[in-house]
C-alpha cells in the first residue's frame, strides 16, 4: 500500500481542510516546530490505528488526552476527519475516519462504513509504519520488561510474550487455582505438623516429616517405633491403632465424650440434594394441577364404576355357583341371568369410557407418592447433617471452659453455629410439617373426590418454602463447617492436654491421616514444580528471543547503523543485541541486552554509555530494520523529525539511508523542522524527483502549506543541457533528461498560471490536456501550445518508463528548445 494523498480536517492543528498529494517514492515536509508537522503523521496514526503513539505510550492518565484529537476550534457538529487514498495492489482504496465530539470513531472504506479496515488482519503482526521522534529511544531507555515487550512487538513475537506472561502469572500466583477443599487439607496437615513439632518426645518423627515426600517411609518407620513404645508389649501391628485409640478414649472420655462434628457437604451429598431439588420442583406444575382437577369428574361416575365392579364380581362368582346367586344362594332364573349380564355390559361400557380418568388418578397418586418419598429422604439428609452437632449444644457448660479464654474466637464461631443452625433446622422441620399436611390434604381430596386446585397450589407453595429452608440450612452448614472443624481440632488438642494424651493424639492422627499427608506432599510437589515450569518457559522464550535479536535483528540494525556512523565518531558504538544471562549461563527472563563497545572493549551498559545522538540513531535503526522485516500491508514509512540531536555529519549520512529506503521500494514521507537539512535531502535525492511541501505559517485555520518544486526549472534545464552535451550519455541519462522536461513544462505551466491568473495549481497532475487548458487560459500562442503539449506524448512514457520507450537525443533537444520558449513567457 502506498499513499496517494490525504485530506485532513478538524484534527489536531488542522482546523480547516488541507490536502496533500504524495509522491510514490519520497515526499518531504519541512516546517518549524509547532507548525503542525507532527499533526500530519498523527492523522495517519489515527486513520490506521485509531490512536496516536503518544497517547498509546502514555503510562498514566490517558484521560488527560481524552478529546484531544479534535481541533479545539471546532464546534460540536463540525466534521473532524482524515481521508486518504492508497494504492494497494494496483487498485485505489479510499479510507476515511471521522472523529465525533465524544471521541468515537467511524470508519469508511470507499465510502461504505466498515467496522475495521479490509486489511486489518494483516496489520496485527505488522510493525507500525511510523518512525516518530518521541518513540525512537523508547525501547532502549525503558525498564527490562517494557523493553522485552517492545522487542517482542517489533519482531512479531507477541505470542511468545503472552505465553510467558500468562505462565508466569500462573506460576507466581497459583493461589487462585487451589480449590477450597485442597487448601483445607493442606491447612489440616500443617496444623498436625505444628502439633508434632511442639512435642519434643516425637522430634525424630518431626525431623523426617519435614523432609517431605522423599522421607515419608522413614517418617512412618519412626511413627511405628514411637507407637510400639506406647502400647502393651507384643501388641500385633494391626492392633496398634485400635489400642492407641482405646487408651486415648479412656483418658479423654473422663473429661468429655462429645466432639464438634459438622462436616462440609461431600460432592455426593451435594449432587444428591441438587438432583432432589430439581425433581421436587418439577412435580407441581400447571399440567399436574390440570390433571388433578380433572379427577373431579371421576367422583361423578364413581357409583357407575362401583356397580360395574360389583356386577363383574357377581358374574365371576355366578359361573362358579352354576345358577345360584353367589350372595344369597337362591336360584337365578334364566331371564334374571340375562338381565344381570346385560346390566353388567352396560356398566362395563360406561366404565371403559372413564378408564382414562382412572389411569390419570393412578398417575397423580403415584406422583404424590414419589414426591413424598423423595422429600422425606431430602429432608432427612439435611436434618442428619446437623443433628450430631446440635446434640452437643447441651454440653456447652462443659465445652465452654475448655475453649475460654484462650480460644475465644473459635468458641464464638461454635456459638454462632449453634445459634444459626438450631433455628434453621427448626424452620426446616416446620416447613416440612406444613408440607406433609398439605400433601395429606391433597391425597384425601382425591380419595373423597373433593379435588380443589387451591389444595395443590398450596402444596406447591409449601414445597418451595420447604426447599428454601433446606437451602438456607445447607448454606449455613457450608459457612460453619470449616470454623467448627477448626474448633474441633482445638477441642481435640485441649482434651489431649487435659488427659495427658498429646503424644498419643498426634500419633493417632499421623496413623489415621497418612493418606492426607501423602496427598499434601504431592500437592506441594505440584505447586513447587511450577517454579520449574516457569524456568522451562523462561528458557524457551528467552532462546527464541535470543535467536531473533542476536542473529536476525543485530545484523539488520548493524547494517543501518553502519550507514549512519561517521568516520570522525569516537569509537563508542552499538555492537549488537543479546539476552542477559545468570552466573550459571541460563538466560535471564525477559532481559534483552543492548551491547556497546568502546575502542574494542565491551561496555557495561549501552543505554547509559551511548550518547544521546547515538541512542537516537540506534532507535532509528531498530525502527527501520523492523519496518523492513516481516510481512506488512504498508509500503510506506512516515519518518517524523529523525535528526534531532545529530551533528551535521550524521545528518548527511542519514540522507543516504533515506535514499536506500526508497531504493528498497519504500515510499518515504519525511518530516523535519530543519529546512536546511530538507534542502540537503532534496539535493542528495535529486534524481528521485519527489514531492516537497513547506509549512510557511500557522493560524487558527491551521498550517499554511505550500508545495515547492523539488528543483528549480532552471536547474532542471541546465541538467538537460548537460546531458545533451554529453555524447556518451546512455539511454538512462536521456530518459532522465526527458523526464526533467516533463517536470519543467508542468512547473512552468503552473508558474505562468499563477503569474497571469493569480491562482495556485499543483504541477503534479499536469498532463497534456491540463497543460493545454492552462496555457490557453494564459493566452499563450497556439503554436507554442501545440509544441508544448506535444512533449507529453513521449515524456509521459519517459516518466512511466514503458517497455516500448526509446530515448531520442534530437527529440529531447527540440523539447528543451520549446521549454525555453515557455521560460521566456514566465519571465525567466
Residues forming the site for other proteins (CB under 8 A): 118-122, 124-125, 159-160, 162-163, 166-167, 169-170, 174, 176-179, 181-182, 185, 519, 522-523, 526, 529, 532-533, 536-537, 540, 544, 631
Query: What is the closest distance, in whole angstroms, from the C-beta atom of residue 181 to other proteins in the complex?
Result: 6
Given the complex with other proteins, which of 1 and 399 has the nearer CB atom?
1
Closest CB to other proteins among residues 93, 523: 523
- List the alpha helices (DSSP H) in 591-730: 606-609, 612-628, 648-663, 675-684, 713-725
For residue 20, give every residue at least 6 positions away whose Cβ sits within 8 Å of its Cβ, in sequence order, or none.
5, 6, 27, 29, 40, 691, 693, 705
Least distance in angstroms from the C-beta of 183 to other proteins: 9
**Residue 645 region by backbone torsions, left for phi larger than 0, else alpha for psi between -120 and 50, else beta:** left
- The nearer residue to other proteins, 125 or 465, going by C-beta atoms, is 125
Shortest CB 88 distance to other proteins, Å = 12
Using the minimum distance from each CB to other proteins, give the nearer residue, 179 or 200. 179
Least distance between other proteins and beta carbon 48 (Å): 16
For the bound state, the minimum distance from the C-beta of residue 87 to other proteins, rounded and expressed in Å, comes to: 18
Residue with smaller CB distance to other proteins, 297 or 523: 523
Answer for the pair 148, 592: CB distance below 8 angstroms, yes or no. yes
Torsions phi, psi of 599, nearest 5?
A: 50, 50
The answer to whether residues 357 and 297 touch, using CB atoms and an 8 Å cutoff, is yes
- Report helix angle 502-512 to 180-197, nearest 10: 140
Residue count of the chain: 828
To other proteins, the closest distance from the beta carbon of 449 in angstroms equals 54
Q: How far is the CB of 167 from other proteins (least distance, A)?
A: 8
Q: Output 117 or 561, the one with its CB closest to other proteins.
A: 117
CA distance 340 to 313: 11
- Which of 138, 533 has the CB closer to other proteins? 533
In Å, how far from its chain's centre is CA 568?
50
Largest alpha-carbon pair distance within the chain?
A: 155
Shortest Å distance, C-beta 591 to other proteins:
19
CB of 123 to other proteins, least distance (A): 9
**DSSP three-state, residue 657:** helix
DSSP at 551: I
Comparison of 408 and 528: residue with beta carbon closer to other proteins: 528
Write down the least CB distance from residue 166 to other proteins, Å.
Answer: 5
Q: Give the residue from 669, 615, 616 showing the smallest Cα distance to 644.
A: 616
Distance CA 124, CA 103 (A): 23
Nearest CA to 549 out of 521, 578, 524 is that of 578
- Looking at the Cβ atoms of 189 and 729, the one nearer to other proteins is 189
User: Is residue 507 a contact partner of residue 227, using CB atoms and an 8 Å limit?
Assistant: yes
Residue in this structure with the C-alpha cell 517482542, named with its chain if needed: 152
457 half-sphere exposure, CB direction, 13 A CA radius: 6
Q: 27, 669 in Cβ contact below 8 A?
A: yes
Q: How many CA atoms lie within 13 A of 788 on its CB side?
A: 30
Nearest-approach distance from CB 761 to other proteins, in angstroms = 40
Q: Which is nearer to other proteins, 138 or 540 (CB)?
A: 540
- Specify the residue, 423 or 630, whose C-beta has the smaller distance to other proteins: 630
Query: Which stretches within 322-452 are classed as H helix?
Result: 334-353, 355-391, 396-403, 408-447
Amino acid at each position: 500500500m502506498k499513499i496517494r494523498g490525504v485530506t485532513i480536517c478538524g484534527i489536531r492543528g488542522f482546523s480547516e481542510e488541507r490536502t496533500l498529494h504524495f509522491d510514490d517514492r519520497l515526499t518531504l515536509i519541512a516546517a518549524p516546530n509547532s507548525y503542525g508537522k507532527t499533526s500530519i503523521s498523527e492523522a495517519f496514526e489515527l486513520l490506521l490505528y485509531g490512536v496516536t503513539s503518544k497517547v498509546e505510550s502514555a503510562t498514566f492518565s490517558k484521560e488527560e488526552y481524552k478529546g484531544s484529537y479534535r481541533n479545539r476550534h471546532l464546534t460540536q457538529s463540525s466534521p473532524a476527519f482524515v481521508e486518504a487514498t492508497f494504492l494497494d495492489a494496483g487498485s485505489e482504496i479510499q479510507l476515511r475516519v471521522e472523529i465525533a465530539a465524544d471521541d468515537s470513531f467511524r470508519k469508511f472504506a470507499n465510502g461504505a462504513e466498515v467496522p475495521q479496515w479490509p486489511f486489518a488482519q494483516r496489520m496485527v503482526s505488522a510493525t507500525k509504519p511510523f518512525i516518530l521522534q518521541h518513540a525512537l529511544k523508547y525501547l532502549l531507555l525503558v525498564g527490562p520488561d517494557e523493553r522485552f515487550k517492545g522487542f517482542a512487538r517489533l519482531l512479531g513475537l507477541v505470542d511468545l510474550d503472552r505465553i510467558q506472561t500468562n505462565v508466569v502469572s500462573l506460576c507466581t500466583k497459583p493461589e487462585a487455582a487451589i480449590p477450597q477443599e485442597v487448601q483445607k487439607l493442606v491447612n489440616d496437615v500443617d496444623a498436625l505438623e505444628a502439633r508434632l513439632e511442639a512435642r519434643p518426645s516425637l522430634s525424630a518423627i518431626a525431623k523426617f516429616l519435614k523432609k517431605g515426600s522423599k522421607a515419608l517411609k522413614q517418617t512412618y518407620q519412626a511413627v511405628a517405633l514411637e507407637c510400639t513404645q506406647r502400647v502393651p508389649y507384643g501388641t500385633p501391628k494391626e492392633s496398634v491403632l485400635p489400642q492407641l485409640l482405646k487408651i486415648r478414649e479412656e483418658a479423654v472420655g473422663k473429661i468429655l465424650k462429645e466432639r464438634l462434628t459438622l462436616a462440609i457437604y461431600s460432592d455426593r451429598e451435594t449432587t444428591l440434594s441438587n438432583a432432589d431439588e430439581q425433581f421436587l420442583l418439577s412435580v407441581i406444575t400447571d399440567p399436574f394441577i390440570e390433571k388433578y382437577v380433572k379427577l373431579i369428574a371421576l367422583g361423578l361416575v364413581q357409583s357407575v364404576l362401583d356397580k360395574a365392579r360389583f356386577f363383574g364380581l357377581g358374574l365371576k362368582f355366578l359361573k362358579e355357583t352354576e345358577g345360584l346367586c353367589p350372595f344369597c344362594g337362591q336360584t337365578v332364573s334364566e331371564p334374571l341371568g340375562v338381565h344381570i349380564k346385560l346390566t353388567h355390559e352396560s356398566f362395563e361400557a360406561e366404565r371403559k369410557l372413564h378408564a382414562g380418568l382412572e389411569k390419570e388418578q393412578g398417575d397423580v397418586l403415584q406422583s404424590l407418592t414419589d414426591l413424598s418419598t423423595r422429600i422425606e429422604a431430602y429432608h432427612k439428609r439435611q436434618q442428619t447433617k446437623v443433628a450430631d452437632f446440635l446434640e452437643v449444644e447441651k454440653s456447652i457448660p462443659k465445652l465452654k471452659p475448655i475453649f475460654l479464654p484462650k480460644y475465644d474466637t473459635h468458641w464464638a464461631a461454635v456459638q454462632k453455629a449453634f445459634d444459626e443452625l438450631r433455628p434453621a433446622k427448626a424452620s426446616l422441620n416446620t416447613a416440612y410439617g406444613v408440607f406433609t399436611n398439605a400433601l395429606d390434604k391433597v391425597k384425601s381430596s382425591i380419595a373423597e373426590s373433593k379435588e380443589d386446585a387451591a389444595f395443590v397450589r398450596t402444596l406447591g407453595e409449601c414445597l418451595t418454602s420447604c426447599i428454601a429452608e433446606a437451602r438456607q440450612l445447607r448454606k449455613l452448614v457450608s459457612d460453619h463447617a470449616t470454623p467448627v472443624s477448626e474448633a474441633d481440632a482445638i477441642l481435640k488438642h485441649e482434651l489431649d492436654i487435659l488427659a495427658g494424651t498429646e503424644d498419643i493424639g498426634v500419633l493417632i492422627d499421623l496413623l489415621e491421616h497418612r493418606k492426607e499427608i501423602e496427598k499434601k506432599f504431592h500437592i506441594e510437589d505440584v505447586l513447587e514444580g511450577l517454579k520449574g515450569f516457569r524456568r522451562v518457559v523462561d528458557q524457551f522464550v528467552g532462546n527464541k528471543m535470543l535467536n531473533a535479536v542476536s542473529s536476525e535483528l543485530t545484523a539488520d540494525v548493524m547494517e543501518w547503523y553502519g550507514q549512519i556512523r561517521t568516520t570522525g565518531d569516537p569509537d563508542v558504538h552499538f555492537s549488537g543485541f543479546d539476552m542477559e544471562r545468570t552466573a550459571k549461563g541460563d538466560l535471564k527472563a525477559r532481559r534483552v541486552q543492548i551491547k556497546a563497545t568502546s575502542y574494542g572493549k565491551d561496555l557495561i551498559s549501552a543505554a547509559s554509555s551511548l550518547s544521546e545522538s547515538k541512542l537516537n540513531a540506534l532507535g532509528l535503526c531498530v525502527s527501520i530494520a523492523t519496518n523492513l522485516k516481516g510481512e506488512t500491508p504498508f509500503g510506506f514509512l512516515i519518518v517524523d523529525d529523525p535528526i534531532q540531536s545529530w551533528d551535521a555529519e550524521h545528518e548527511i549520512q542519514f540522507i543516504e539511508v533515506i535514499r536506500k529506503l526508497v531504493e528498497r521500494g519504500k515510499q518515504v514521507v519525511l518530516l523535519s523542522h530543519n529546512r536546511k537539512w530538507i534542502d540537503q535531502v532534496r539535493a542528495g535525492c535529486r534524481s528521485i524527483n519527489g514531492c516537497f511541501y513547506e509549512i510557511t505559517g500557522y493560524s487558527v485555520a491551521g498550517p499554511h502549506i505550500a508545495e515547492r518544486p523539488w528543483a528549480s526549472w532552471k536547474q532542471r534545464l541546465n541538467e538537460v543541457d548537460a546531458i545533451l552535451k554529453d555524447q556518451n550519455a546512455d539511454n538512462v541519462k536521456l530518459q532522465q533528461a526527458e523526464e526533467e522536461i516533463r517536470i519543467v513544462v508542468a512547473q512552468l505551466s503552473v508558474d505562468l498560471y499563477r503569474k497571469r491568473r493569480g491562482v495556485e495549481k499543483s504541477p503534479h497532475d499536469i498532463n497534456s490536456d491540463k497543460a493545454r487548458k492552462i496555457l490557453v487560459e494564459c493566452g499563450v500562442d497556439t503554436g507554442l501550445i501545440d509544441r508544448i503539449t506535444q512533449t507529453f506524448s513521449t515524456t509521459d512514457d519517459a516518466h512511466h518508463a514503458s517497455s516500448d520507450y526509446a530515448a531520442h537525443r534530437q527529440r529531447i533537444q527540440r523539447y528543451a528548445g520549446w521549454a525555453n520558449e515557455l521560460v521566456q513567457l514566465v519571465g525567466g
